[in-house]
Every structure is written in structure tokens, then in C-alpha cells.
Amino acid sequence: MISIRSMTRRSEPYVFAAIVALSLLIQARSGQFFTGNNLVDLARALIVPALFSIGCMLVIVSGGIDVSFTAIASLAMYVTDKTLLASGYSGSVLLAYAMSGALGLLMGALNGGLIGFLKLPTLVVTLGTGSLFTGVMYGVFAASASDVPPAIAAHGKQTLFTAVNLESGLTSNMPSQVLILVGALVLVFLLIRYTMLGRGIYAIGGDEAAAERAGFSVAWIKLFLYSFVGLLAGITGVARISMISYADPSTMLGMELTVIAAVVLGGTRVTGGLGTLTGTIFGVTLMTILANSLILIGIPTYWSRVFTGAVIIVGTGVSARQIGSARRRVRTLQKEA
């Protein structure tokens, strides 16, 4: 049986080619791109958006959209930070991750319940809850930049290795938080590759009614999905403040547009049912290079925002065109058969 998915071309090779071409261009113009400290700096800048993009990809694959994950991350990490500071906590950073992750899970479950059981539109729900969480953070908790507990500060100083630029003498440390990204990638890969739950996420995005007829519990899968996104956002929030060594409630707000653009750029179909982790990481990598390395060739970084908007428009158009073309080809082949 011929499927639309099998006839839809993946964009990963094109994104990878764009990464290579842009990297070579920057290297040719600046001579600095492939230095050890620049590559480590790029990896450091990639960690937070890549963690966000993993959850964002799952949501878009399921046929939904989530614009609340940065607000969840900000509120979860800020409440955790203030609670641990007020209690004078000096133990393991694992408690901070557990607290922030649990708060994120609860906020994500609110999204999942409204979307899965009340069947409310995903964009409307996440716009509303994102505004709600941001309002609570600034209104109830009067959020402002603050210090972090000793456990989080110590965690931020943990590095895997140090890269040195022999010409300039500049050094850059690879943060240990990259291991969280690796762990999240492995976990989600196993989820979507080897579990019925993962198959259900793709099935819902392909055709929700057909998925329900096939026996998938759509409401519960959506509850799990948005809860997991919230959990991942809460963990990402702590990773973020540990790397910058202070709790700024605004540091992650506004990243959702770039993350969604990266996921779409990586080939995740905006109508659901199709998307890969490989493409997502390629998309995030390209967006990170654009945001952090354009300055090396004299291009103002605000042009990355122009590219972000263009990616969303073009990515949406390409997805719609591919699906329409694939459907026409399927109908043609079915008639010939």
C-alpha cells in the first residue's frame, strides 16, 4: 500500500548541506568557525533550544502546537530557585531538577487535560496558559533577576573539557548540561522508535479519527505528551540558569518562535504525522549558527530574526505543497493500479 508519508521527501539532507555550506562560508570569511572554542560555544548555545525543540517536535508531530513551554520553564525554575534560596538548601542539584521538572509536569498536564479531554484547540490553550504562567510569575511572585542556590551555582561550574584557541588564547568550557540533552535525545528516540505510545503520537498527527479507531487512547496520549513537554521544560529551566549563574525570569521567554522555526526547518510537518529527531537537531544547529556566528562575517545578528520568520512561512508552504503533491500522486497511482 502506498502512503502519503512514504512519498513525502525528507528535508534533512538539504538542511545538513546548508549547515556545511554556511560553516565553510563563515570559516572562509573569518577563519574562526572551526576553532575549538567557537565550536564549544556553539554547542553551549545549542543546549537549551535543542531541549525545547525535542518536546516541540513531539507536539507538532501529534498535530498540535505549543507556545507555552518557555513560560512553563521560566515559572518552574523561578519558583524552584526562590524556594531553595529561602530554605537555605545546600544539597544536591538533583532536587532542583526534580522540583522544577515536577512543577513543569503539572503545568504541562493542565495543557494536556484541556486539549485531550476537553478537546480545545492547542494554539488557543497554550497561548492562554503561557500568558497565565507568565502573569503568575510576574504578578504573584514579582519575579526579577536573582542569585541561584549553591547547588545550582556549583552545577554550572561543572565542565566536561576545555577547548583552547591556540592563536588567540581564548578558552571555552563544555558544560556538563550537554549530558542532559544527550539523555533526552536517547529517551525520546526509544519512545518514538520502540513503543506503542510513540506510534500513537505519530498516528494522532496523521489522522486522529483513524488513530482512535485503531485503538489508541487519544486523550490520554495527549495528556502524557503535554505533561512530558512540561517536565522537559522544567528541567531545561534549571539547566539554563545553572549555565548563566543567575535566575533571570525573562531569559527564556520569546525563544518559542526560534524553536518552532528550527523544528519546521528540520522537516517536521506542520500538519502532523511526520518528523524526526535528526532533522530537528539539524534545524536547531542551523538556527544556532545563524544566531551566534553571523557576527564573524560582519552580518548583524538581528538578521537571524528575518530568517526565523521566513523559515516558518516557507516551511509551512513547503509542507502543504508536499502533502498536496503526494496525495495527487497517490490518487494517480491508485487509478493506474
Print the SS3 string covering 63-86.
CCCCCCHHHHHHHHHHHHHHHHHH
Grid coordinates representing 192 are: 518514538
CATH code assigned at 199: 1.10.3470
What H or E segment, with its residue span, contains residue 164?
strand 159-164
- C-alpha 287 chain-centroid distance: 12
| Binned average pLDDT, 10 residues per bin, the chain of 337 residues | 45 86 88 88 95 97 95 97 93 96 98 96 96 95 88 93 79 93 97 95 93 94 97 97 92 91 88 91 91 74 72 65 61 63
CA distance linking residue 29 with residue 295, whole number of Å: 11
Axis crossing angle, helix 277-293 with helix 178-194, rounded to the nearest 10: 150
Determine the pLDDT at residue 108.
98
CA distance linking residue 79 with residue 103, whole number of Å: 9
Determine the pLDDT at residue 326.
58
CA distance linking residue 227 with residue 68, whole number of Å: 12
- Centre a 10 Å sphere on the Cβ of residue 275 and count the other Cβ atoms it contains: 27
Instruction: Output the CA angle 157-244-107, nearest 5 degrees.
Output: 110
- Write out the residue range of the structural domain in which residue 138 sits: 4-336
Length of the chain: 337
- In the chain, the N- to C-terminal Cα span, in Å, equals 11
pTM of the predicted structure, to 2 decimals: 0.90
Determine the pLDDT at residue 219.
96
Residue 121 Ramachandran class (φ > 0 left, ψ -120 to 50 alpha, else beta): beta
User: Number of folded domains in the chain?
Assistant: 1
DSSP for 229-275, please give it. Answer: HHHHHHHHHHHHHHHHTSB-TTSSTTTHHHHHHHHHHTT--TTSS--
Grid coordinates representing 42 are: 556553539
Instruction: Select from 78, 81, 40, 73 the least CA-distant residue to 54.
Output: 73
Determine the pLDDT at residue 164.
80
| Residue 289 contacts residue 19 (beta carbons within 8 Å) | yes
Return phi, psi of residue 78, to 5°.
-70, -45
Grid coordinates representing 196 are: 506503542
